[in-house]
Amino acid sequence: MAKTLKALSALLTYPTAELQLATGEISEVIDTANAIPGRVRTQLHTLLMELASGDLYDLQERYVLLFDRTRSLSLHLFEHVHGESRDRGQAMIDLKAQYEKHNLFMSAAELPDFVPLLLEYLSLLPASETYETLGQPAHIFAAMAERLRKRESAYEAVFRALVALSAAKPKETEVAALLTLPDPDASDLAALDAAWEDEPVTFGPGADNACKDGLIARVRGGMRPAPDMPARTRTDQRQ
């Protein structure tokens, strides 16, 4: 489980030459991830082939268009829960404080709700706790997978894998609510601006706090790589 999470974490980081060199090792980990359905493992290998053989500049441009410019595909979980509300800032502070209680410190360029970072922490938790924690944002992962499917992006497989690993499967109503939100093409600048101005999503009374508190309560561990896995490529190493 730990290696699988480290592999999925690496796949969601900004593409670099280091990541391209690590695709063979990541592929071996995916092959042994029996908790991930075979069809999804096949899709993950498609993404790995794209990363290994693609032009690095093109891979980086695609990543930015998908995950940095498009709010509906943001890799920061609290963006999907709190948007730009004040609650998001407090959630970040609380989660960071939770990390630091366990002597876990991030670089100044990192945010605690960044999915690859969260997966690294979860890779050091007991499996049962990891499965439970992944269930908290499972509806977000499912919605992101569907949006990536519509874009015919191989990154879809990473989020399908995260849903498969979670203990609590996403509720269709919550996924559907997210999918009703604007999901503009990255080249439509006006639509992108409008999407970033939308209010944060909630799912009933206290839903935001429940998601935040669930993550804060369960995220444990350290930032060390899992055994035999390459170190994560940090977003602050972008060129």
| Candidate ranges 22-26, 114-118, 127-131, 192-196; pick with highest mean pLDDT | 22-26
Confidence of residue 230 (pLDDT cuts 50, 70, 90): very low
Share of the chain above pLDDT 90, in %: 43
Per residue in 60-84, pLDDT (tens digit) is 999 999 999 888 899 998 777 645 5
Q: What is the DSSP letter of 126?
A: -
Cα–Cα distances in angstroms (integers) from residue 65 to residues 74, 148, 185, 192, in the given order: 10, 12, 9, 11
Give the predicted TM-score (pTM) of the model.
0.75
pLDDT at site 85: 53
The two three-digit tokens of residue 17, written as one number: 């030459």
The residues pairing with 114 across neighbouring beta strands, listed in sequence order, are 76
CA angle centred on 84, ends 80 and 87, rounded to 5°: 85
In this model, does residue 117 exceed pLDDT 70? yes
